[in-house]
Amino acid sequence: MTSVAEMKAIAGPSEIMEVSMGPHHPSTHGVFRMDVRLEGERVVRLKPVFGYLHRNHEKIAEHGAYLAAIPYTDRLDYLCSMTNNWGYVLAVEKLAGLQVPERAEYIRVIVAELTRFQNHAGLIGFLLQDMGASGTPLMYAFREREKILDLFESLSGARMMCNYMRFGGVRVDCSAEWLDEVRRLVATLPRFLGEFEALLRSNEILMARTQGVGVLPRELAINAGVTGPMLRASGVNYDIRKVDKYGIYDRFDFRVPLGEHGDVYDRYMMRLLEMAETVKILEQALRNIPAGPVMDPKAKLRGLRPKVGEAYGRIESPKGELGFFLISDGSTIPYRYRVRPPSMINLTVLEDMCLGQNIADVVITLGSVDIVLGEVDR
Amino acid sequence: MLGEGIIQGLMETARNFFGSYVEKERLVTVQFPEERRSLPEATRQFPFLLYDGDDPERGLRCVSCQICEKECPPRCIHIEKSKDRKPDFVGKQQFYPAVFNIDVSVCMSCQICVEVCPFDAIRMDTEFELSTSDRFGGLLWTKRELARSNEYYRQIHPTEAGECDERRAKELADAQAKAAAAAAAAAAKAAQAAAAPAAASNGAPGSGAKSEPAKKVVTQ
């Protein structure tokens, strides 16, 4: 048998190998390619290549009425259509000066927080799947997600492409039975969270695999414009629900969890802690939801002509700051429509997080960023 | 102790495994083709066109206003207006669609056509098993394939259909009341006009001006 030293002597000095991971690699969560240069198993360069799922979203929206862009926003981050709708209608409401009735604001908070919960649950499931915990955590996460999607279906008619919010409110009012069902579900969520946490939180293998891996330093996170749970995992207290207090978020009592190290483990824990805060917001919203109309009587579905000007609506989507920038020239179609996608901007620091790490760690670092390629490529 | 966390995790797995036998919320899946879940009432898949009565050709509610065609985000609706008119449910003469096609392979089930339709003519179906081996003809639905009766609508969306029927019944009653009032006014005018020439036999221009408003009421 030849020893390692003898093998090295035969093979000569190690060469740089270029590997194209993706676009159809199962760990890339969609059609995304990483151009990786490896020295042995160590990453020396990583270039993200995206655009495989480009669908011309912004240009399409500039060719249709304001209303016609809402179903397209569902398809940006196709796991969180409710929050995408909210970001867009918020921008249009600022542009057109519409007031959202109280009940509609509460319904928006409820569906947005349910969306956040199911997104984080799904993300953790996939992240653990990337680490090798195949199946079990993902199955538990999807079981809860399934219940939330059923609620979305009975409210809006579709499980994922909800197309539910409108400028000046929401499309249909929710029934008392629907609210009761949400209450019943929210009551079971803390138990699920506890189990989900106990499943792997103190697992030695998971800790060895994630702690100190894919570290994103605080300064770099701020400089690169990273937002959402990824930024907070690096220890920066920045949550648009707290900063902007859009909608009625100033009425809810919740905390913003913060990480310390900015590694994959922190980003994993950040999602778990945020889910617990989401349950708190949901409980408060379900307790205080008032009766009343769900649409601004001044709002027009067809032929909306906002006055000349520009508006930027931004929300804390489950992935980070989701912003919509609109310029109106006074006609029925937006003059300029631009999306600030959190997935894509969070992805730009991937190389910095992966340099010097093993190739297997690239997979879990990418998984912890939480990307959806529909939003990255638009 | 090393390995404690792993044992803790395995205990959770065991709890879920055995729990799935007794707790319904731990096992949410159904064996699909054999077992089916009832769909919620709000479910939407693809649009269909509503007709009243038995004849899908004559009873079609669509008046070919082409609003849905303009508002449809992916532009999957194609409408050609008819040359002639036919009476609608209140008896008003309206155009009808000579051609009404929906390309279901393009449709994204967003329901905007339903929301903008002022005539309650287009609604969303709940049927989702629509696979076909014919990509082009099989997924381009014509007026005939899209037409569904009001009874069918009542079956799949009872609440929504009830509201819609109520609204239309009110519209019909209003139209009938208006027609009756107009007929009564016309009759009164006619009686007046019949009496007037006797009183002012040489005032021809004056009587002409009088009869015009009466005519207007009838056409409205």
pLDDT (tens digit, 9 = 90+) per residue, A75-105?
888 888 899 999 999 999 988 888 889 899 9
Q: How far is CA B215 from CA B150, B192, B219, in A?
A: 36, 13, 7
Cβ contacts (< 8 Å) between B112 and chain A: which residues? 67-68, 71, 163
Q: Which residues contact B45 (CB under 8 A, 6 or more apart)?
A: B109, B124, B125, B126, B127, B128, B130
B44 contacts A198? CB cut-off 8 A: no
Q: Tokens for B158?
A: 């009872």
State the DSSP string of A110-151: HHHHHHHHHHHHHHHHHHHHHHT--SHHHHHHHHHHHHHHHH
pLDDT in tens, chain B (220 residues): 677 878 888 888 888 888 888 887 788 788 888 888 888 888 888 999 888 878 888 788 888 888 888 888 888 999 988 888 887 777 778 888 888 889 888 899 888 999 888 888 898 988 888 888 888 878 888 888 888 888 888 888 888 888 888 888 888 888 888 888 888 888 888 888 877 765 555 544 444 444 444 444 444 4
How many domains does chain B divide into?
1
Contact between residue B89 and residue B168 where contact means Cβ atoms under 8 Å apart? yes
Model pLDDT, residue A120? 92
Buried b (16+ CB within 10 A) or exposed e, A236-247: bebbbbeebebb
Instruction: Round to whole Å and give the CA distance between A186 and A20.
Output: 43
- pLDDT above 90 coverage of chain A, percent: 21
pLDDT of residue A107: 92
Whether B9 is covered by a domain: the verdict is no
Residue B32 lies in a domain: no
Position B38 in a domain:
no
The pLDDT, as a whole number, for residue B197 is 64
Kindly list the residues from chain B whose CB atom is less than 8 angstroms away from the CB atom of residue A177. none
**Mean of pLDDT values over A241-263:** 88
Note the pLDDT tens digit of each residue in A10-64: 666 667 888 888 788 777 777 888 888 888 888 888 888 888 888 888 888 888 8
User: For chain A, what is the mean pLDDT?
Assistant: 87
Query: What tokens were used for A2?
Result: 């030849």
Q: Which residues of A touch B28 (CB under 8 A)?
A: 143, 146-147
A110 — pLDDT class (breaks 50, 70, 90): very high
Per-residue pLDDT, B198: 58
Interchain contact, B3 vs A200, CB within 8 Å: no
Interface of A with B (CB under 8 A): 64-65, 67-72, 74-75, 136, 140, 143, 146-147, 150, 153-158, 161, 163, 171-172, 188, 195, 198-207, 301-302
Q: Is residue B52 part of a domain?
A: yes
State residue A109's pLDDT score.
92
Q: CB neighbours (10 Å) of residue A20?
A: 12
Is this complex's ipTM strictly greater than 0.95?
no
Q: Closest by alpha carbon to A133, among A207, A238, A185, A25?
A: A207
Cα–Cα dist A140/A133, whole Å:
12
| Distance from the A147 Cα atom to the nearest Cα atom in chain B, whole angstroms | 8
Q: What sign for the dihedral angle of Cα A174, A177, A183, A187?
A: negative
Q: Cα A373 to the chain's mean position, in Å?
A: 11
For position A111, what pLDDT does the model report? 92
Q: Which of A71, A100, A345, A250 is nearest to B114 (CA)?
A: A71
Residues in chain B with CB shorter than 8 Å from the CB of A188 are 25
DSSP structure string for B152-167: HHHHHSHHHHHHHHHH
Q: At B74, is the secondary structure helix, strand, or coil?
A: coil
Residue B136 domain-assigned?
Answer: yes
The confidence score (pLDDT) of residue A51 equals 84
> B-side interface with A, Cβ within 8 Å?
2-6, 8-9, 11-13, 15-16, 25-26, 28-29, 39-44, 67, 71-73, 108-112, 115-116, 124
Query: Which of helix, strand or coil describes residue B208?
Result: helix
In this structure, what token pair is assigned to residue A189? Answer: 């969520």
Q: How far apart are CA A61 and CA A80, in angstroms?
A: 19
List the one residue out of B60, B92, B59, B64 whose CA is nearest residue B77: B64
For residue B201, tell me if it sits in a domain. Answer: no
What distance in Å separates residue B16's CA from the closest CA in chain A?
9
Give the residue numbers spanning the domain of B84.
47-157
Please indicate whether, in this complex, the C-beta atoms of A172 and B42 are within 8 angstroms of each other. Answer: yes
Residues of B in contact with A199 (CB under 8 A): 8-9, 12-13
The strand order across the sheet containing A16-21 reads A16-21, A33-39, A42-49
* CATH entry, A55-377, from 3.30.420.40, 3.40.50.970, 3.40.50.720, 1.10.645.10: 1.10.645.10
- Residue B206, CA distances (Å) to B191, B196, B215 in order: 16, 10, 15
Domain limits, chain A: 55-377
Whether residue B5 and residue A203 make contact (CB cut-off 8 A), yes or no, is yes
- Non-local (6+) Cβ contacts of A78 within 8 A are A160, A161, A372, A374
Chain B contact set for A302 (CB, 8 A): 67, 71, 116
Residue pair B77/B102 in contact (Cβ under 8 Å)? The answer is yes
d(CA A43, CA A45): 6
Neighbour-count burial for B57-95, b at 16+ CB within 10 Å, e otherwise:
eebbbbbbbbbbbebbbbebbbbeeeeeeeebbeeeebb
B71/A67 touch (CB, cutoff 8 Å), yes or no: yes
Which of chain A's residues have a Cβ under 8 Å away from the Cβ of B43?
153, 157-158
Q: Write down the H helix ranges in A134-245.
A: 136-156, 176-200, 204-210, 218-223, 229-233, 240-243
Burial letters B19-35, b for 16+ CB under 10 A, else e: eeeeeeebeeeeeeeee
What pLDDT score does A25 carry? 75
Cα A103 from Cα A113, distance rounded (Å): 15
Helix (H/G/I), strand (E/B), else coil: B17: helix
Please give the distance of CA A2 from its chain centroid, rounded to a whole number. Answer: 50
pLDDT digits (tens, 9 = 90+) for B175-201: 888 888 888 888 888 888 877 765 555
Taking only the tens place, the pLDDT of each residue in A113-136 is 999 999 999 888 888 888 887 778
Higher pLDDT among residues A301 and A220, named by residue: A220
Domain contains B117: yes
Token pair in block for residue A239: 């949550």
- How many angstroms separate the Cα of A276 from the Cα of each of A190, A204, A281, B187? 7, 23, 9, 74
B86: domain CATH number is 3.30.70.3270
Q: What pLDDT does residue A13 have? A: 64
Contact A69/B13, CB-based, under 8 Å? no
More confident residue, A150 or B87: A150
Whether the ω angle into residue B33 lies within 30 degrees of 0, i.e. cis, is no
| Tens of pLDDT, residues B22-54 | 887 788 788 888 888 888 888 888 999 888 878
